[in-house]
A and B are shown apart, each in its own frame.
Chain A
Amino acid sequence: MSAGITTVSDATFDVEIEQSERPVLIDFWAPWCGPCMALLPTIEGLASVYGDDLKVVKVNVDENPRIVEKFGVQGIPNLTLLKEDKVVVLRERSRTRLVQEIDCILG
């Protein structure tokens, strides 16, 4: 597990994501996905920026079809932010712009 990032599976989805009291950022990735691996340090950086204000989790798309289908993930890397009933796929990829995008959503 990377610093500040929780690995989530189909089995732990309910507890880790559905029942989270905090907003959740899901990093959908796969080990064969070069851009996903390149993005990991940025995701770790986000986790350090938000600390306890945001839960950051990783979902391996090859191993967790239920979560992938639930969120309609069509391509990776995919960063999806959940806040209450809002589900937003993030467009940015640098930490600076991701923070701006996330801050707008979190309010």
Chain B
Amino acid sequence: MTFEAFAGHPVFKTQMLETVRARWSARALAPSLDLNWKREGQPDSIGGTLAETQDRGEFELRTGIPADLAQLCELLIAAGVRTSDAPDGAAGFSLEGADALLAFGIEWLDAIRPGADLGLIVPLFARHCLDLLLKPEFDLAAHISLELRDVGFRILILWGRELAGQGTTRAEWRDVQRAAMAATANDAGAWSYRIATFIEAIAWPVRSVSREFAGLFEPFLFNWSMYLETAFMTDEERTDREHLLLGWKALATAPRDEAGNIDVDPLDALPESRRVISSDHIARTMDRVLAVREAARGRKDELIRSLMDAVLTLIRGA
């Protein structure tokens, strides 16, 4: 599919951005992966306000911008800002975050050249992220098994061929998907679960998986952000965080019935995970959790801003 941003008209772009710019400056919009627009009980999003719709197809028709790009940008902002209820405020909610992250709300739109085909931005960003993840200096590199790393490189190679205009076959992808699922099954690490499930989920032609990418990237990015916090924790807190992640993994992977209910509580076999997930533990440690979160804010903001800059570079190059 070929996209043409703002139908190639600078005036159309200016008009479409006018409302978004005003409302974003007033902090009357909240970033949302769902591109919220006039959804009951939810603030409007940047993308939803731009196109006056939350339907992905309609968004693309009205703006000439891929919905997956809008979703990715909303996700990056949401990852770095805090939205909280403020019933007395004009917008009914408040938005807090570093200026450098909030600026992105309009930056990515301003960066778009009317007429640009932005169809490859998310695929190229996906490749950039996978490449980052596989580098030895990646924050969580020590938690990625050789088996999983091998799968990641195989995906990168296939994506490279696809983006170079060469073909890839269904058989090649099936092999990679099988290897990815095997790597996930063999992996027992607390921090690696979200990395493994991310790699497994993106094991598809990159143009095809770009439509899903923002939703797949979100838990991976959240996991990465959580890891950055551990630099500000005590040894005991780091251990507790690993118990938390193992508990979440057990709950996510527990067998369920057709209604989605879990038959056997997986935390029965993980007493330490049960302890740290308990409301009592959460209440007792909340002050400390918030302090760690705040201490890590700079590092996390730096990460998110670097990802935003990667998106901006790609948009400006389109």
Contact = CB atoms under 8 A, between A and B. Distances in A.
A21 to B, nearest CB: 23
B259 A74 contact: yes
A6 interface: no
Contacts of B56: 40-41
Contact of B34 (A34, A89, A94, A97): A34
A64 interface: no
Contact of A96 (B204, B215, B256): B204
Interface residues of B, number: 26
Interface of A is mostly: helix
Interface stretch (B88-96, B195-203, B231-239): B195-203
Contacts of B259: 74-75
Given A37-B34, A45-B211, A48-B208, A94 B201 contact: yes
Contacts of A96: 177, 180-181, 200-201, 203-204
A40 B34 CA distance: 11
A96 B260 CA distance: 19
Contacts of A97: 181, 200
A42 interface: yes
Contacts of A75: 259-260
A44 interface: yes
Interface of A: 2, 32, 34, 37-38, 40-42, 44-45, 48, 74-75, 89, 91, 94-97, 99-100
8 contacts: A38-B215, A41-B68, A44-B211, A45-B204, A75-B259, A95-B209, A96-B201, A100-B177
